Amino acid sequence: MGGFDSFLNVIFNFWVGFAILAIVLVKTSIKIVPQNMAYVVERFGKYNKTMEAGLNILIPFIDKVAYHRTLKEQAVDVPSQSAITKDNISLVVDGVLYLKVLDPYKASYGVDSYTYAVTQLAQTTMRSEIGKIELDKSFEERESLNINIVAAINEAAVPWGVQVLRYEIKDIEPPRSVLEAMERQMKAEREKRAAILESEGERQSAINVAEGDKQARVLSAEADKAEQILQAEGEAQAILAVADAKARALEVIGNVAVSDQGQKAIQLELADKAISAKEAIAKESSVVLMSDNQSSASNLVAEAMTIINTLNKQQTDKGNSRNA
Closest C-alpha among 188, 90, 165, 167 to residue 131: 90
CB under 8 Å to 74, separation ≥6 — which residues?
Answer: 98, 99, 100, 101, 115
- pLDDT at residue number 39: 92
- DSSP-assigned states of every residue in 83-114: EE-TTS-EEEEEEEEEEEES-HHHHHHT-S-H
Question: 162 near 143, Cβ under 8 Å?
Answer: no
List the chain pLDDT tens, one digit each, 324 residues.
Answer: 556 667 667 676 767 676 777 777 777 778 888 998 999 999 888 999 989 888 888 888 888 888 989 999 999 998 888 888 888 888 888 889 999 999 999 999 988 889 999 999 988 888 888 888 888 777 777 888 888 889 988 988 889 999 999 998 888 887 777 667 767 777 788 878 888 888 888 888 888 888 888 888 888 888 888 888 888 888 878 888 777 777 776 666 666 666 666 666 666 666 666 666 666 655 655 544 444 444 455 565 565 556 556 655 655 665 566 555
pTM here is: 0.51
DSSP 72: S
What distances in angstroms separate CA 248 from CA 35, 225, 252, 276, 292, one per listed residue? Answer: 124, 34, 6, 27, 40
What distances in angstroms separate CA 143 from CA 37, 127, 169, one per listed residue? Answer: 32, 15, 9
- Considering the domain 74-174 in this protein, what is its CATH number? 3.30.479.30
Which residue type, as a one-letter code, is found at position 224? D
Q: What are the extents of the domains in the chain? A: 2-70, 74-174, 184-244, 258-323
Main-chain dihedrals φ then ψ at residue 291, nearest 5 degrees: -75, 155
- pLDDT at residue number 266: 67
